[in-house]
Amino acid sequence: MQISTPDAEAEIYTQGAHLTRWTPRGQRPVIFTSSRSLFVPGKAIRGGVPIIYPWFGPREGQPMHGFARTSEWKVENLAAGTAELSLSQLRFRVSVGLTLGMELEVHNDSNEPLTFEEALHTYFAVGDIHQVSVTGLENTAYIDKADGCREKRRDSAPVRIAKETDEVYLNTRAACVIDDPAWSRRITIEKTGSESTVVWNPWIEKSKTMSDLDPEEWRGMLCVETANVASNAITLAAGATHKMTVRVSL
Ligand code: BG6
């Protein structure tokens, strides 16, 4: 479905409640979606904002990154630049304007505690990945998934991307800013209810193994994911609700 407001336009698929576009008027797209994405049932759209739930990453015998991103969600509301979709105990709310607001709510409607991981796995469009830097993750511990899941600590320098990057930052609530000199812009990502941030770019070799990504598209994208994963997984008491929000602005 398309959402059009005086300030921006966006697009959301009911498969995965997957937002694939948010473009403030007069701007280049802020959200990257692959030109080779398949858009077929059962396969996650490549790009946009996949909703990762209830686990992050691989799980034996189960779909990578959980089932939410390939499930068909129900549209609950669509009005004046906002949308709300649901999938059993999940609700996803989007507001489209000069800022992009997203909220993922999980309600534990069972009688037992519920433990889960989650991510709004946002793909940002950038002019040239080689020139990009990300601030907000300085002096933070992370798991380096591109280096055997070794535990490391970022120093006081911004994150730069010069190779395959798959970094899971833990215990961080900070806003991140993607500085993109090639397109002369900064993307600010503010969040609440999230203790993890994942930074991902597949770079050259991994891209070649991904049939739904053009071999050159890694140059123009960067995932900065608002998440609760690994030791930041959430445990919700019976009847309790958790909300994770992201606010993206230029
Ligand atoms: C990232 C993970 O969040 O998603 C990576 O940290 C993974 O390890 C990437 O490769 C993309 O996953 P997928 O399943 O969408 O190809």
Q: What residue has token string 């991103």?
A: 69
Catalytic site residues?
A: 121, 225
Q: What is the pLDDT of residue 2?
A: 97
Q: What is residue 233's predicted lDDT score, i.e. its pLDDT?
A: 98
8 Å CB contact between 37 and 194: no
| pLDDT average per 10 residues of sequence, the chain (250 residues) | 97 98 98 97 97 97 97 96 98 98 98 98 98 98 98 98 98 98 98 98 97 97 98 98 98
Token representation of residue 222: 């960067």
Task: Give the model's pLDDT for residue 29.
Answer: 98
Kindly state if the Cβ of 91 falls inside 6 Å of ligand 1: no
Range of the domain at 129: 2-249
In the reported structure, the alpha carbon of residue 183 is separated from the centroid of ligand 1 by a whole-number distance in angstroms of 25
Model pLDDT, residue 158: 98
Token couple for 160: 């730069």
Q: Closest residue (by CA) to atom 7 of ligand 1?
A: 57
**Cis peptide bond upstream of 54, omega within 30:** yes
Number of domains composing the chain: 1
Note the helical H segments in the chain: 203-208
Distance (Å) from CA 195 to ligand 1 centroid: 18
Could you tell me the CATH number of the domain that includes residue 181?
A: 2.70.98.10
Q: Which of 200, 209, 210 to mutate to test the pocket of ligand 1 (most atoms within 8 A of CB)?
A: 200
For ligand 1, mutation pick of 59, 65, 143 (most atoms within 8 Å of CB) = 65
Report how far ligand 1's centroid is from the alpha carbon of 121 (Å): 9
pLDDT the model gives residue 81: 96
